[in-house]
Amino acid sequence: MPREKGRKVVASNKKARHDYAILDTYEAGMALTGTEVKSLRAGRASLVDAFAQERNGELYLHGMHIPEYTQGTWTNHEPRRTRKLLLNRMEIDKLIGKTREGGLTMVPLQVYFSDGWAKVEIALAKGKKSYDKRQDLAKRDADREIARVAGRRGKGMDD
């Protein structure tokens, strides 16, 4: 069977962009078992409450939920197990250094298949305060209102 081309998104963490200010993103592979890959190919995964953490010079993804494969037998995986992230040593050292530096965390934004390989997009992020979140919402609403009015003017419908 030929490997599929392109990028097929399985799960995305929409809440992360609301709760964190994204500074930088990285693409990482994941060490998965066979039944985990089959569940992901079926489009079943959740990134709610997931985060990446350093342990013994390696990066691991905690809290990602991949449900058990429905046709799996006793060889099925544990849904919330810790999964190793596969990155270059230079990228790992850079991420570890920045998180130790202060105030930054690693949050997964998306899980997807890129040319048949399961990948996760990891963001180096800083947590937002509640007033920052409110400011972002107000700015987004104002931008939408401006775009709406500009669109109506372009169609000849003046308010």
Domain that holds residue 93: 7-128
Question: What's the pLDDT score for residue 84?
Answer: 92
Count CA atoms within 13 Å of residue 84 on its CB side. Answer: 10
Q: Are residues 110 and 138 in the same domain?
A: no
Q: Are residues 42 and 107 in the same domain?
A: yes
Q: Are residues 71 and 37 in the same domain?
A: yes
Question: What's the pLDDT score for residue 154?
Answer: 66
Contact in structure between 13 and 22 (CB atoms under 8 Å):
no
What are 49-86's pLDDT values in tens digits?
888 888 998 999 998 888 887 776 677 777 788 999 99
Is residue 156 assigned to a domain? yes
Alpha helices (H) in 7-159, listed in sequence order: 14-19, 34-41, 89-101, 130-154
Q: Are residues 88 and 137 in the same domain?
A: no
Is residue 42 assigned to a domain? yes
Is residue 2 assigned to a domain? no
Q: Would you state the torsion angle of the CA atoms of residues 57, 79, 124, 134, taken in this order, to the nearest 10 degrees?
A: -150
Which residues of the chain, if any, have pLDDT below 50?
Answer: none
Question: What's the pLDDT score for residue 146?
Answer: 83
Q: Are residues 57 and 133 in the same domain?
A: no
CATH of the domain at 107: 2.40.280.10
Q: How many domains does the chain have?
A: 2
Q: Are residues 18 and 90 in the same domain?
A: yes
